[in-house]
Amino acid sequence: MSPSSVCSCWCCIFKRSDEIVEKTSGAIEKAQQTDAGVIGSLSIGFLSVHVRSFLPEVIKQFRALYPKVELHLNHFPSKMLKEALEEGEIDIALTLPSG
């Protein structure tokens, strides 16, 4: 192998290694942001009639604090809401206090 071929090969390796380091750093940063709750998604299940008074304001405040978190809002009848929460389809269920 000629010296120029060896040099080209090493230049290619260094270029690729820089790309790998950059992508890895980006992935680490994204993982840290996800872990901190700065980015990601949140699925909320609710009973429609009971949240009309407060949910719009809660969403507005949440989006102001966490603009990169994607919200998924889902209306359920009460029995299905409980099932969705138990099966992991939603992260949070908003209901009425009992008693």
Question: Each residue of 3-17: pLDDT tens digit?
Answer: 666 567 767 776 766
Record the tokens describing residue 57, joined without a space.
């304001």
Record the tokens describing residue 91, joined without a space.
């992260």
Rounded Cα distance between 99 and 90, Å, is: 24
Backbone angles phi and psi of 29, in degrees to 5 = -60, -45
Indicate if the pLDDT at residue 55 is higher than 70.
yes
Task: Return the number of other C-beta atoms located less than 10 Å from residue 46's C-beta.
Answer: 19
Spatial contact of 43 and 74, defined as CB atoms under 8 Å apart: yes
Pairing of strands 39-46, 92-94: parallel
pLDDT at 99: 58
